[in-house]
């Protein structure tokens, strides 16, 4: 180095040292601004969605709302939340906690730590409580929206004066609702370790045993399933040609089981299911006890001949009754 060379600038070196911190501060400030901006957008969209739903006969309401989750998530806590649709179905939750990723606030995961109350049109309320109960909701502009519900250690308690509910308890439960092509809707329901309160043929299969249930169906003309009441919605859907196609369904309870392999059902003017299902029923009978039902008689005859007690037949729903082949097995299920 000669005497004429300029000395290195200490100020320049110091500015390079602080540059990463300045950049980090700018990024953090921008991210913070973005999060609070998105929170404001989420509040506005939620309010607009609630107003839009109310104008179409639905209800999305709450008594208190709090947003949190900064910096990476958008969390929301609702008190006294209620979601209802025009036909009378509704869900209420004393506390509802929701969570969405900051980059996708159209997909929410909801948790109900104190359970929910399900309102059934013309059947009354059912309180659902358990160890865990959560739901995932997205694509709310589709009909039906994409909804998944999962629960563990659930108990179902009808309110005083309400009609019985088919499930009493379940170790695990899943319900998935999806929109499909050509105006279809798909439903998948599963329950394990379930105690049930079925009547008719299903009640005789389940009895007081712990059961596993699975139901997979498709509904046609789902856009017609709308109305001022549940009955009006189902009647309008039926008039539009709405049908229920069974993909697969089964109930397993101890040695007994029932499976519906295929079939298409609709709803008659009185609200009863009507149509045919191809079913297989297995019921092992205690031959030391009295035979009480036609199915038990057929199963006992098969056992006596050394065969598996499996009945394969058509299950007919007509005129408000259920028939296994020619045997009257009780009332047909009612939708309303």
- Report yes or no on 83 lying in a domain: yes
185 within some domain: yes
Question: Same domain, yes or no, for 199 and 304?
Answer: yes
Residues 71 and 140 in one domain: no
Q: Residue 195: its pLDDT value, please?
A: 93
Number of structural domains in the chain:
2
Query: Quick one: average pLDDT of 40-69?
Result: 81
Query: Is 42 within the bounds of a domain?
Result: yes
Is there a single domain that holds both residue 105 and residue 139? Answer: no
Whether residue 304 sits in one domain with residue 254 = yes
**Is 277 in contact with 269 (CB distance < 8 Å)?**
no
Domain boundary pick from 67, 85, 114 = 114
Same domain, 104 and 135: no
Give me the domain span that covers residue 63: 11-114
Residues 189 and 243 grouped into a single domain: yes
Does pLDDT of 39 surpass 70?
A: no
CB-based contacts of 301: which residues, under 8 Å, 6+ apart?
none
Q: Which stretch of 98-112, 160-174, 205-219 has the lowest confidence by average pLDDT? A: 98-112
Over the range 70-107, which residues count as b (16 or more CB within 10 Å of their CB) and which as e? Answer: eeeebebebeebbbbbbbbebbbbebbbbebebeebee
User: Are the beta carbons of 39 and 67 closer than 8 angstroms?
Assistant: yes
Q: How far apart are CA 107 and CA 200, in angstroms?
A: 40
pLDDT for 104:
65
Same domain, 84 and 150: no
Q: Average model confidence (pLDDT) for the chain? A: 82
Q: What is the pLDDT of residues 276-291, one digit of tens each?
A: 999 887 765 555 566 5
User: Quick check: bond before 71 cis, omega within 30?
Assistant: yes
**Sequence-ordered strand ranges (E) for the chain:** 59-61, 64-68, 73-84, 90-101, 104-111, 116-120, 124-129, 132-138, 146-158, 167-180, 184-196, 211-219, 244-253, 256-267, 273-282, 310-318, 321-324, 327-331
Residue 306 lies in a domain: yes
- For the chain, give the percent of residues with pLDDT over 70: 77
Most confident of 111-120, 133-142, 198-207: 111-120
Task: Give pLDDT, residue 58.
Answer: 83
pLDDT at residue 95, rounded to an integer: 96
pLDDT at 303: 55
Q: Does a structural domain hold residue 51?
A: yes
* Same-domain pairing of 166 and 306: yes
The last residue of a domain, from among 87, 114, 141: 114
- Compute the distance between CA of residue 148 and CA of residue 87 in angstroms, rounded to an integer: 21
Residue 139's CB: how many other CB atoms inside 10 A? 14
In whole angstroms, give the CA distance from residue 297 to residue 165: 29
Nearest to 184 by CA among 241, 131, 139: 241
* Residue 28 in this model has a pLDDT that exceeds 70: no
pLDDT value of position 301 = 59
pLDDT value at position 183? 95
């Amino acid at each position: 180095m000669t005497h004429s060379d300029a000395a290195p600038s200490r100020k320049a070196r110091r500015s390079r040292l602080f540059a990463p911190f300045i950049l980090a501060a700018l990024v953090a400030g921008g991210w913070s601004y973005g999060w609070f901006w998105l929170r404001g957008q989420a509040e506005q969209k939620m309010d607009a969605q609630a107003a839009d739903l109310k104008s179409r006969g639905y209800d999305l309401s709450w008594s208190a709302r709090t947003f949190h989750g900064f910096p990476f998530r958008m969390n929301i806590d609702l008190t006294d939340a209620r979601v209802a649709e025009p036909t009378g179905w509704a869900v209420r939750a004393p506390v509802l906690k929701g969570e969405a990723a900051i980059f996708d606030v159209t997909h929410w995961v909801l948790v109900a730590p104190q359970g929910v109350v399900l309102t059934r049109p013309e059947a009354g309320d059912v309180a659902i409580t358990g160890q865990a109960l959560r739901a995932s909701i997205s694509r709310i502009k589709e009909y039906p929206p994409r909804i998944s519900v999962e629960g563990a250690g659930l108990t179902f308690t009808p309110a005083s004066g309400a009609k019985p509910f088919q499930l009493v308890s379940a170790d695990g439960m899943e319900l998935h609702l999806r929109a499909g092509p050509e105006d279809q809707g798909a439903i998948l329901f599963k329950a394990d370790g379930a105690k049930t309160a079925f009547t008719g043929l299903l009640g005789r299969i389940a009895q007081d045993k712990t059961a596993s249930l699975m139901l997979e169906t498709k509904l046609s003309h789902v856009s017609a399933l709308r109305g001022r009441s549940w009955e009006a919605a189902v009647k309008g859907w039926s008039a539009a040609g709405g049908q229920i196609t069974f993909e697969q369904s089964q109930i397993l309870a101890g040695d007994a089981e029932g499976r519906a392999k295929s079939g298409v059902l609709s709803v008659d003017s009185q609200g009863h299911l009507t149509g045919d299902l191809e079913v297989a029923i297995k019921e092992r009978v205690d031959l030391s006890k009295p035979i009480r039902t036609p199915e038990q008689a057929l199963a006992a005859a098969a056992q006596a001949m050394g065969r598996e007690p499996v009945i394969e037949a058509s299950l007919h729903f007509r005129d408000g009754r259920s028939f296994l082949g020619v045997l009257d097995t009780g009332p047909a299920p009612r939708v309303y």
